[in-house]
Amino acid sequence: MALIVQKYGGTSVGSTDRIKNVARKVAKFHEQGHQVVVVVSAMSGETNRLIALAKELTPNPDPRELDVVVSTGEQVTIGLLAMALQAAGIPAKSYTGGQVKILTDDAYTKARILDIDDAAMRQNLSEGKIVIVAGFQGVDADGNITTLGRGGSDTTGVALAAALKADECQIYTDVDGVYTTDPRIVPEARKLDTITFEEMLEMASLGSKVLQIRSVEFAGKYKVKLRVLSSFEEESQGTLITVEENRNMEQPVISGIAFNRDEAKITILGVPDQPGIAYQILGPVADANIDIDMIIQNSGRDGLADFSFTVGRGDLDKTINVLDRVKAVINAKSIESDKSLCKVSIVGVGMRSHPGVAAKMFRTLSEEGINIRMISTSEIKISVVIEEKYLELAVRVLHKAFNLDSAA
Amino acid sequence: MALIVQKYGGTSVGSTDRIKNVARKVAKFHEQGHQVVVVVSAMSGETNRLIALAKELTPNPDPRELDVVVSTGEQVTIGLLAMALQAAGIPAKSYTGGQVKILTDDAYTKARILDIDDAAMRQNLSEGKIVIVAGFQGVDADGNITTLGRGGSDTTGVALAAALKADECQIYTDVDGVYTTDPRIVPEARKLDTITFEEMLEMASLGSKVLQIRSVEFAGKYKVKLRVLSSFEEESQGTLITVEENRNMEQPVISGIAFNRDEAKITILGVPDQPGIAYQILGPVADANIDIDMIIQNSGRDGLADFSFTVGRGDLDKTINVLDRVKAVINAKSIESDKSLCKVSIVGVGMRSHPGVAAKMFRTLSEEGINIRMISTSEIKISVVIEEKYLELAVRVLHKAFNLDSAA
């Protein structure tokens, strides 16, 4: 008998028929003798509907009140799922984040979990009940309702699994696992049976939107066994996200290829090459709440350097406005930008012990005549920025070059 | 400076534009220096939408879980109204029933309020904030979400006014007060400036659905000054519901005429005229959860009696099924029923000190050839059951006969 935390996303509970389907899946685990805690999201579309109502009233709704409103989405789902299970003769009880309780800080709309009281859940589990918990939400120390931000239901699932020392945390979604790359671009892409937390983090942050990145960090930190599964396919075992040591020795060098279309590059030319210049440029950008991705600085001639970085394409105009003010202060020569770019990354813990991976990546791209505009590397990832028109081609040739097309 | 509790129903908050309108009304009281606590219902249609979702899953949803689901309706409204006020520069803070907290028993879907903690509300009011509270809901001693049943938001408003010793509880609705009768039937019907709690109870229970009856009982018990107003008309002072002593001495004998189309009469003929027979008949009916309205028993000849009572028309078939079983046990002769009936009642505290009111009522009806099928009286009300086809005629002639057509 295992203790399993299952999380079902908005698509999986998007209608009452789908909620019945979830109830059947949960019931199966219950019948096998497992203890099950279920975390659910709002029915798909509901969170957006609620936010739209708020925006009709004011473009900048008060964050505390926005959390009061949007947290109702998950509250509806927990009640409905509990009813569906009870109607099927299976004892079940729903809990809001506040009822559990899931204590968070008071950073409304993006709160962090501080503590989880597992007493009520354990009591119910020991009585043979299914425990259903609203994802995405908690309460602060004063009893105000908070939400964890978009995708926060994954984090709730992992945090509950950690608090309960669950045997496994299963994230049910509309894909049946993590793929070597997007199958819409490479039909030969295949599902990975396992992936390490670190790889998953790199894959997720690079645009493979299977799991919310915070939940993966959380799972890695608390050693929660995390599995991504489809709520619609019965047979698949999904992808297990695991620590490196548990993996098959025959693991390929590269686990997957991630990409992001939404890249814009900004270069500030002729920047004085002196200490503190990076902060002078990026400080105001960060202050304007713009997320910066890759950063490259090259020393040049005459004590001048070129400084480049990428931002999300939607932030480009805002970033240039900020830099126009910075430019005068730091005496830069000019600002250039390019928004028709994308980023392609190869990810794999195997590259640590295999030299020549970068060279192979660059050679593969060069053979197709694809010019590399920026390069950035980490321990287990190599990213290149290229022209967006080459994205599909680059992903396909890299997928083949690193032997991802065939089963491992 | 007064402390005012205002309650806005589902129609008054039925869209974001209407919520903005409520915010403007609340703001006006705030600007005049009053302390305001606002109770809101779910946006119109929302509660029904949520119940429909539950019924899609199971015809008999678990009551605890149903309350978890439907209580979200009011939670959305409190957040939206708080945003709207804050966007207009007015400090406001929302509270769910659980956050206030409004302690109830654990009778899910029809809970009763046991206690209200006024500390947080008073604190916010003293800081100049508008306090917004979700109507219709509370929590039991174990922190489970409960609801007060349909129309429970009125009860929340009155209960908060009682707990805070508010100067007035204003119930905003889509009518501008209590009328002498339904203006759709009698165009000459006029709005009452005042009505006593007792009259209001008789009017409400007889089908003038302006206020939830429980809230009127509550207001009477705790001497809460209750006013019914329109949320859409600015100038009207509505109707004040008050204790008898505060009324104008020149009060007319009859305050209003209520009616109910939904009546079915059942007569059990030839019942042995012996003690316990009423219970033997009505006990099984009550056990089947059927509400009984008027009851009449006449002793007859040969130690046999006829026993009549009325039920809601939708319950008639169910009632007859129950009675078919009872009939054999008590040795009754036969069961007759009639569903094309209605009830018309004249209500007024003045009838206590004015004899002849009943006679005048019966004469008025007889002059129009309307046959009276049943009569029932209380201290301040006389009800008759007549054929439904005479309903409009009866209400019109009684309205005129008791001088309700002209201003008091």
The closest alpha carbon to A170, from A18, A29, A32, A23, belongs to A29
Subunit contact B84:A57, Cβ cutoff 8 A: yes
Extended beta strands in A91-223, E state? 92-95, 102-104, 113-116, 130-134, 137-139, 145-147, 168-173, 194-196
CB-nearest to B62 from A62, A75, A86 is A86
CB–CB contact B79 A87 (8 Å): no
Q: Which residues of chain A have pLDDT under 70?
A: 150, 205-209, 244-251, 300-301, 406-408
- Report the alpha-carbon distance of residue A303 to residue B370 in Å, rounded: 108
Four-CA torsion B73, B132, B218, B375, nearest 10 degrees: -50
Q: Are A91 and A130 in contact (CB under 8 A)?
A: yes
For an interface test with B, give the residue of A46, A70, A76 to mutate (most B CBs within 10 A). A76
Whether the CB of B56 is below 8 Å from some CB of chain A: the reply is: yes
| Nearest partner of A20 among A96, A93, A91, A77, judged by Cα | A77
Instruction: State the smallest CA–CA distance between residue A137 and chain B in angstroms.
Output: 14
- Side chain identity at B98, as an amino acid letter? G
Could you tell me the two tokens for B171?
Answer: 């119930």
Which chain A residue shows the shortest CA-CA distance from B21? A57
Average pLDDT over residues B315-344: 91
**CA nearest A70 in B: which residue?**
B76
Q: Which residues pair with A263 in a beta bridge?
A: A312, A341
* pLDDT for residue A244: 65
Quote the percentage of chain B above a pLDDT of 90.
Answer: 63
Of A79, A98, A143, the CB nearest to B69: A79
d(CA B79, CA B90): 14
**Contact status of B38 with chain A (Cβ, < 8 Å):** no
Pull the structure tokens for residue B145. 């979400």
pLDDT of residue B408: 44
pLDDT of residue A1: 84
Q: Is A86 on the interface with B (CB under 8 A)?
A: yes
Measure in Å the smallest separation between the Cα of B48 and chain A Cα atoms: 13
B275 touches chain A (CB under 8 A): no
Considering only the beta carbons, identify the residue of A57, A71, A82 that sits closest to B16.
A57
**Nearest-CA distance from B50 to chain A in Å?**
8
Which residue of A lies nearest to B139 if distances are taken between CA atoms? A99
At residue A173, the pLDDT reads: 87
pLDDT at B129 over 80: yes
Residue A28 near residue A62, CB atoms below 8 Å: no
User: Vertex A214, ends A212 and A220: CA angle to 5°?
Assistant: 110
Helices (H), A222-265: none
The DSSP 8-state label assigned to residue B271 in this structure reads E
Best of B72, B121, B146 to disrupt the A interface by mutation (most A CBs within 10 Å)? B72
Tokens of B325: 């079983």
**Predicted confidence (pLDDT) per residue in B41-100, tens digit:** 999 999 999 999 999 999 999 999 999 999 999 999 999 999 999 999 999 999 999 999
- The helix (H) or strand (E) run that includes residue A197 is helix A197-205
Res. B245 pLDDT band, cuts 50 70 90: low
pLDDT at residue B133 in the model:
98
Contact call for A83 and B66, based on CB within 8 A: yes
CB–CB contact B76 A19 (8 Å): no
Contact B68 A82 (CB under 8 A): yes
Amino acid A408: pLDDT: 45
Range from A170-174, A230-234, B165-169, B282-286 that averages highest in pLDDT = B165-169
Reduced to 3 states, what is the DSSP secondary structure of residue A245? helix
What tokens appear for A398 in the block?
């890299």
Residue of B nearest to A68 (CA): B79
For chains A and B, CB pairs below 8 A equal 112
pLDDT at B251: 65
Alpha carbon of A242 to those of A3, A152, A162, A226, B229: distances in Å? 18, 21, 14, 7, 63
Phi then psi for residue A153, to 5 deg, are -65, -35
Residues in chain B with CB shorter than 8 Å from the CB of A64 are: 82, 93
Contact status, residue B268 vs residue B335, Cβ threshold 8 Å: yes
Sign of CA dihedral B95, B98, B103, B105: positive
Mutation site, A57, A77, A139, interface B, largest B CB count within 10 A: A57
pLDDT for the residue numbered A169: 96
CB atoms within 10 A of CB B176: 19
Task: Read off the pLDDT of residues B183-237 as tens digits, 9 standing for 90 and up.
Answer: 889 999 988 999 988 888 888 766 566 777 788 888 988 999 999 998 888 778 8
The single-letter DSSP state of residue A182 is -
A304 and B CB contact within 8 Å: no
Nearest to B50 among A54, A71, A76 (CB): A76
Helix residue ranges, H only, A32-132: 46-57, 63-70, 72-87, 97-100, 119-126
Q: Enter the DSSP assignment of A191.
A: B
Please name the residue that has the structure tokens 């659905």: B209
Strand, coil or helix: what is B260?
strand
pLDDT at B138: 97
Question: What CA–CA distance (Å, rounded) separates A350 from A313?
Answer: 32
Q: Which chain B residues have a beta carbon less than 8 Å from that of A96?
A: 68, 145
From chain A, the residues in CB contact with B62 under 8 A are 82-83, 86
Nearest to B19 among A57, A80, A87 (CB): A57
**Please, which residues 375-404 of chain A have a Cβ atom closer than 8 Å to chain B?**
none
Cβ pair B65:A87 closer than 8 A: no
For chain A positions 128-157, those within 8 Å of chain B (CB to CB) are 143-145
B245 interfacial to chain A (CB closer than 8 Å): no
pLDDT tens sequence across B17-30: 999 999 999 999 99
Which residues in chain B are contacts of A131 at CB distance < 8 A?
Answer: none
Q: What span, in angstroms and rounded, lies between the C-alpha atoms of A337 and A375? A: 17
State which residue of chain B sits closest to A139, comparing Cα positions. B99
pLDDT of residue B214: 82
CA B398 to chain centroid: 23
Q: Which residues contact B10 (CB under 8 A, 6 or more apart)?
A: B41, B42, B43, B44, B45, B46, B47
How large is the average pLDDT for residues B150-156? 86
B100 CB within 8 Å of a chain A CB: no
Kindly report the backbone phi and psi dihedral angles of residue A144, in degrees, each rounded to the nearest multiple of 5, phi listed first: -75, 145
